[in-house]
């Protein structure tokens, strides 16, 4: 499984975590989406579902950081 060894922190049980703010995190909703292999029609992976509000907050933080970085050039 991909969640062993070096990659152990990227997975929680059989669901992959998402990466934000420099760390691997688990969705507060506990929901996930199955990624289906089209050849076998079986679940290949499960990934976290994030609320749109959190995604928007992350985008805003990234844009703010980019603007600050450009001002410092």
pLDDT digits (tens, 9 = 90+) for 9-62: 888 888 888 887 788 888 877 888 999 999 999 999 898 887 766 666 777 777
What's the rounded Cα separation, in Å, for the pair 15 and 21? 19
Q: pTM for this structure?
A: 0.53
| Residue 5 pLDDT exceeds 60 | yes
Q: Which residues pair with 11 in a beta bridge?
A: 16
Question: What are the two backbone dihedrals, phi and then psi, of residue 31, each rounded to the nearest 5 degrees?
Answer: -90, 155
- Give the per-residue pLDDT at 4: 65
């Amino acid at each position: 499984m991909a969640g062993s060894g070096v990659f152990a922190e990227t997975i929680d049980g059989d669901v992959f975590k998402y990466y934000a703010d420099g760390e691997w995190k688990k969705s507060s909703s506990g929901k996930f989406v199955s990624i289906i292999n089209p050849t076998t029609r079986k679940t290949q992976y499960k990934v976290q579902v994030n609320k749109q509000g959190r995604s928007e907050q992350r985008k805003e933080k990234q844009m703010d950081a980019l603007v600050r970085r450009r001002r410092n050039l």
